A and B are shown apart, each in its own frame.
Chain A
Amino acid sequence: MESLHKRRSLLKALVLSYPLVSGALLLSPAQARQRKLPLAVLDDGEAADLESVIEALVPGSAEAGAVHFIDYQLARPAADSLLMLRYLGVEQPHLNFYRAGLEALAQHSVRRFGKRPSALPAAELDTLITDLIADDTPGWSGPPASFLYFVWRSDGVDVTYGTEDGMASLNTPYMAHIKPEQVW
């Protein structure tokens, strides 16, 4: 078993490629967020709501760059996407799913609390999440609320715990055969 632990690799976290005039800049989603790199497909309101909800579901995922990761995947050709949603039989383009979900979420939040999710204090955000889990969302129009909860939570887990750094934070060895350090 010792040798397996020793094989633990020093992989970088998720790496995104942002095209710049001078070529590609390789950044992790966390770095992309830190540098406030522009998003490709989500608008500012959508991004802020998504980040609030995912952070509430998976603490640490905002800093890990969950929104930059999702945005980048939504902008790539469907067959290259690394989002879990592609397992779940949702028709492409998946941007439609995320966008419709975020719109339904914002409407529900405004109806319930008079504010968008990004403006909610922690306690109200938690109530919003409880509504999603229970599909207790009267007048909701969009992908099922509990399904969105599952998908967004899973996205947050991907970025926060699905990397060598994330697994190291759980004290569990990564043991890669091939390290995921290519451009995402």
Chain B
Amino acid sequence: MVTAADKVDLLVVGSGAAGSVFAAEASAAGKRVLLLEAGPARTPDDLVSSQLWARRQKWGGAHVEEEGNHRVGHNFNAGWGTGGSTMHHYGVWPRLHENDFRTSTEFGQGMDWPFQYAELRPFYDRIQGAVGLSGDATEERWRPPGEAYPMPPVPVFGQGRLLAAGFARLGLHTAPLPLAINSVPYRGRPACLYDGWCDAGCPIGALGNAQTVFLNSALASGATVQNDSTVTRLLTRRDGRRIEGVEYRTGDGELHRQYADVVVLAAFTVQNARLLLASANDRHPQGLANSSGLVGRYLMTHPTVSLYGMFDEETQPGFGPTGGQLLNQDGYDNKLAVKDAYGSFQWIIANAVKPNGLLGIANNRADIYGAQLRPFLQRAVNHLGVMTLVAEDVPLPENRVELSSKRDAFGVPLARAVHNLDKAGAALVAHALEQGAAVLTAAGAREQWRGPQAGMHILGGTVMGSDPATSVTNSYGQSHDIENLFIAGPGLFPGSGAVNPTFTIHALALRAVEQLLRDWPSHGTQ
């Protein structure tokens, strides 16, 4: 049975970082807004402090097939339920740098963005004010222009002090990590307690996520989040030129239709591309918004490796935000500095770690087992230091999301995410790891080792640009092909930079929704 609910003004698919900004601004402007969210309802009370319970927040939808020498790690990187991945995100919020927006012009690599940093700067500043960031803009000598942070930095614990000294001994710099975490009470939300539980979600609201900020205001101004509602298809008008609405399935398997004036696809990188491809119809035989053939293409992930050192000194590795305490971006701006390599990288320094969990203490020394395990853990919980590399990924058309021949329980083809790291990217990682090892030695680590190399964040697949032949959307995420279809999230990024993307996701979404509200494409009728 198909049920069709009343038409809404704005239908947002996904209630995470990007979707919540659209919903908040549109409902504040008086639009009737509905967010369809595949995952369950979540409240702060669900954010149980446990690395085991944290797993309920991870992706619980259709399986994603993965291939390649450097997979994107969908299930680790994707969230599920009210607030999306933001609910367990760590709040590390650096800005992209000015030359991240013009890599083709400046370095002959990748693609330029359809606008420059100066265009996005006011949106970064406004988001920063709304969410509340802690940090020290002056100490971030590499930071592009922007307003100072509204809150002072978070404190530095033992491991941060030791690692900072290691950077300094090599003539490198560290600055407080810019965090969407309150160091002092901010706009009715309390200050952080530095207990290192961010991965499980912050129930006290010290961390800025969808639920504490934009989703909260969306709900306050009348938007509705409907959970357990998996969008399975976007529906176009018969002439193919406008979106009419979506089909979705509720947990009981029932098929529903929801009509809307405007649809925003904010289901995160892989599911956005999958839904567009799986919604192919007579008018759009290769998928919606895909006249360029680029939906799914230029899939990116930040190569990441954590480095660990054991120190004689007390390091307090269980304390502080999970995301870290300090940042190093020396050398970020010269993407051609390393021979045979390309790209920028940053170090996030002094992440809080717990004994268990994928990124926990035990798993970073997976070679230790049996009788040696407990003594190792006993030492590490007091003496471990951690720093994490985030490196740039070049957008390559062959890295992609495509449809599998297998289907999910609702009959929708599964996504297959194919991602390989090219030689220049691999060389960049190798160079950075050498530098990291030198820092740990200079910091006085007795012993040091590396965790596995993996993908952090998932970007691209629906890249924006000025030319409909070489991009999927315009600079607002509006489909070049379908006027009332917007795409939101890191899938829009034409380049990855080497910074965590969620600050930029918010800034882009704010810029886009303001444009949408200025120029509402409401003239179409069903």
Which positions in A face B, CB cutoff 8 Å?
Answer: 1, 4, 7, 14, 56-60, 78-84, 86-89, 91-92, 126, 129, 133, 149-150, 153-154, 157-158, 161-163, 166-167, 170-180, 182
Contacts and interface: CB of A to CB of B under 8 A. Distances in A.
Given A78-B60, A82-B53, A87-B55, 16 more contacts: A4-B194, A7-B195, A57-B369, A80-B56, A84-B55, A86-B60, A149-B366, A153-B366, A175-B197, A176-B48, A176-B49, A176-B195, A176-B197, A177-B47, A177-B197, A180-B49
A133 B378 CA distance: 23
A157 B415 CA distance: 32
25 contacts: A1-B319, A4-B319, A58-B369, A59-B371, A81-B55, A82-B53, A82-B56, A86-B55, A87-B75, A89-B74, A91-B63, A129-B370, A133-B367, A153-B369, A154-B363, A157-B355, A161-B355, A162-B51, A167-B354, A175-B193, A175-B195, A175-B196, A176-B197, A178-B45, A182-B48
A179 B371 CA distance: 29
Nearest to B44: A178
Contact of B49 (A133, A150, A158, A178): A178
Given A4-B195, A153-B366, A154-B363, A162 B55 contact: no
Contacts of B40: 79
Contacts of B360: 157, 162
B149 to A, nearest CB: 24
Contact of A158 (B39, B51, B58): B51
A76 B316 CA distance: 36
A89 to B, nearest CB: 5
A60 B356 CA distance: 15
- The 9 A-B residue pairs with the shortest CB-CB distance, nearest first, are A79-B60, A162-B356, A176-B49, A175-B195, A180-B50, A172-B381, A161-B355, A157-B362, A82-B52
Interface residues of B, number: 54
Interface string B99-129: 0000000000000000000000000000000
A154 to B, nearest CB: 6
B259 interface: no
Contact of B378 (A7, A91, A171): A171
Contacts of B45: 178
A71 to B, nearest CB: 15
Chain A at the B interface: SS class:
loop
B197 A150 contact: no
A59 B378 contact: no
Contacts of B378: 170-171
Contacts of A84: 55, 357-358
Contacts of B377: 161, 170
Contacts of B382: 172
Most B CB contacts (10 A, CB to CB) among A1, A82, A157 go to A157
B454 to A, nearest CB: 10
B136 to A, nearest CB: 22
A82 B55 contact: yes
Contacts of A167: 354-355, 381
Contacts of B369: 56-58, 129, 153
B41 interface: no
B202 A162 contact: no
B73 interface: yes
Given A87-B55, A162-B356, A179 B366 contact: no
Nearest to A129: B369
Contacts of A175: 49, 193, 195-197, 318
